[in-house]
A and B are shown apart, each in its own frame.
Chain A
């Protein structure tokens, strides 16, 4: 009995953590925006944002005063004192309802769907916005502007974002293409893959993403990263110490010091921070052309 009992205990302990493997990145549903719940008021006054990038949109529209609640990840100074209603994947319906909002902005995502569906069912209008790509960011600015009863501001914001894109791609067109690997996590190595938001930004800023496949946020084999031999490795893990990149020294560019660290996570937040993200990317990809 004794060896068997020990085996039982060990096997059980081994089986436990296996079921809680974390997903490297949340995904967003593709497709169009959608209204859930009752029809929204023409000009909502108490808005809850369930994603930092949507908070950015409201702030950029000049409508921060209408925000009643944001997520625990929100760090914009304009919303510093606002109540928190949980996270992006785990919003608390109770905290949302207690704020008595007349509009909830939701970055459509499978994980939070049951909670958001319940919020809508209890009588709060929810605007579900799938924001995956650059055109989605422009559409999102217009949709949120319209939902707040300020379509003109939405149009202005979208135009200014379009101009920034135009400006960046014009400057990048005159510069050589840079083959880039964009690292968003070091252990495991997670990169911005084809179809991800930063992949689109890279293209605008004159970069060519060396990551292959059909997943937007692949856990990338280090071997493939080495074989791809990028000209430049972008360190987009702004919240992790820069020294962590030493783990990827097998990639020739890392060994040769051709690593550019992004100063913040703007390039990972599909929203109005796109302007700053494009500037940062252009500078990182073409230091020779952008430093005076």
Chain B
């Protein structure tokens, strides 16, 4: 594959960075309350608290989650050689939600024996670990069961993912019955796919994990180019297919697991963003992965801003996951029809 010209690459990445900055700025400027940025920056309350304490951390959370979902969506599409692959559709998000739920449930059980131990298990790091483990497990399952006669069949893998998603949703609903009502309320809030108000520590830990995972995907992006040609072709070009695919699995699952732990199941970001970015940056993953990560961050920040503003007159806001599904569902079907025609 031809190397992307330096000019095109730097233009796409600069555009991506600008989009992130612009979306965060917009998200900070808009909200239910009219505030003055000048007043906020000069320390006037409540403008300062609203800008720096509420809007900015939430925008950063959206950027982290959007970056993780878009980058892993790009990677999964390359691995599966199918444009419909995406963490939510493939059941990776569902697995992560299930993993996190199991940890929260175990914490609720443990809290009955020992309050502090239960609280410790319900804190962010174990929940993130549970979500990452769930994401890795479901990715492994999807790619193992998606093989027919030793060959990966993308449509079969997608079906496995969709069925696994429904299965995970059912299991979570059952688990929700088992936990005390206040835990169930917390669980529900988390799973809705809403960007909320995480503590600074949780946000920093999540950002670090997403940063490492996305960085790994960027480093692996050259091999993604070869893997997307097919296993035999990649092997004949000197790629250690098993090892490379395992590394991409792990990085994409980690990014998705961290994103789900931070904000629940936000679907279709990994579908919409890579497709739009491909039109701008072309098919080379060395550019596509980092550009998708940046535009994914901008996309989710903008979507969350829209979610905050859309129903302002009703005094309520939908979770951003509802908005991305609203846009992503039809987008998925459109892609499905299009890929059906070309097949």
CA–CA, A80 and B233, complex, Å: 71
A82 shortest CB reach to chain B, Å: 12
Let me know if A118 is at the binding interface, CB within 8 A. Answer: yes
B184, B199, B340: the one within 8 Å of A27 (CB): B184
CA–CA, A100 and B172, complex, Å: 39
- Determine if B159 and A97 form an interchain contact, defined as CB atoms under 8 angstroms apart: no
Q: Chain B contacts of A117 at CB under 8 A? A: 197, 199
- Determine if A18 and B155 form an interchain contact, defined as CB atoms under 8 angstroms apart: no
- Determine if A19 and B188 form an interchain contact, defined as CB atoms under 8 angstroms apart: no
- Determine if B182 and A93 form an interchain contact, defined as CB atoms under 8 angstroms apart: no
Let me know if A76 is at the binding interface, CB within 8 A. Answer: no
Let me know if A7 is at the binding interface, CB within 8 A. Answer: yes
Q: Chain B contacts of A15 at CB under 8 A? A: 162, 165-166, 169
Q: From A217, which residue of chain B is reached at the shortest CB distance?
A: B181
CA–CA, A15 and B267, complex, Å: 12
* B 255-273 to A, binary, CB cutoff 8 A, 1 in contact else 0: 0000000000100000000
- Determine if B50 and A28 form an interchain contact, defined as CB atoms under 8 angstroms apart: no
- Determine if A114 and B343 form an interchain contact, defined as CB atoms under 8 angstroms apart: no
Q: Chain B contacts of A29 at CB under 8 A? A: 182
* B 164-196 to A, binary, CB cutoff 8 A, 1 in contact else 0: 011001101100100011111110110110001
- Determine if A89 and B185 form an interchain contact, defined as CB atoms under 8 angstroms apart: yes
Q: Chain B contacts of A9 at CB under 8 A? A: 333, 336
Q: Chain A contacts of B327 at CB under 8 A? A: none
A195 shortest CB reach to chain B, Å: 10
Q: Which residues in chain A, 85-126, are within 8 Å of chain B measured between CB atoms? A: 86-87, 89-90, 92-95, 97-98, 100, 108-115, 117-118, 121-123
Let me know if B315 is at the binding interface, CB within 8 A. Answer: yes
Let me know if B29 is at the binding interface, CB within 8 A. Answer: no
Q: Chain B contacts of A256 at CB under 8 A? A: none
B46, B169, B340: the one within 8 Å of A98 (CB): B46
B162, B180, B188, B332: the one within 8 Å of A23 (CB): B188
Q: Chain B contacts of A86 at CB under 8 A? A: 315-316
Q: From B189, which residue of chain A is reached at the shortest CB distance?
A: A111
CA–CA, A28 and B317, complex, Å: 22
- Determine if A97 and B50 form an interchain contact, defined as CB atoms under 8 angstroms apart: yes
Let me know if B244 is at the binding interface, CB within 8 A. Answer: no
**Chain B residues in contact with chain A, CB under 8 A?**
31-33, 35, 45-46, 49-50, 53-55, 84, 89, 94, 155, 158-159, 162-163, 165-166, 169-170, 172-173, 176, 180-186, 188-189, 191-192, 196-199, 265, 315-317, 325, 329, 332-333, 336, 340, 343
The 4 nearest A-B residue pairs measured at CB: A27-B181, A110-B186, A111-B185, A118-B197
**Chain A residues in contact with chain B, CB under 8 A?**
1-2, 4-5, 7-9, 11-16, 18-23, 25-30, 72, 84, 86-87, 89-90, 92-95, 97-98, 100, 108-115, 117-118, 121-123, 215-217
* Other contacts beyond A19-B265, A27-B182, A110-B182: 20, CB < 8 A: A8-B155, A11-B162, A23-B181, A26-B181, A26-B185, A72-B316, A86-B316, A90-B317, A94-B50, A94-B54, A95-B32, A108-B182, A110-B185, A110-B189, A111-B188, A114-B197, A115-B197, A117-B199, A121-B53, A217-B181
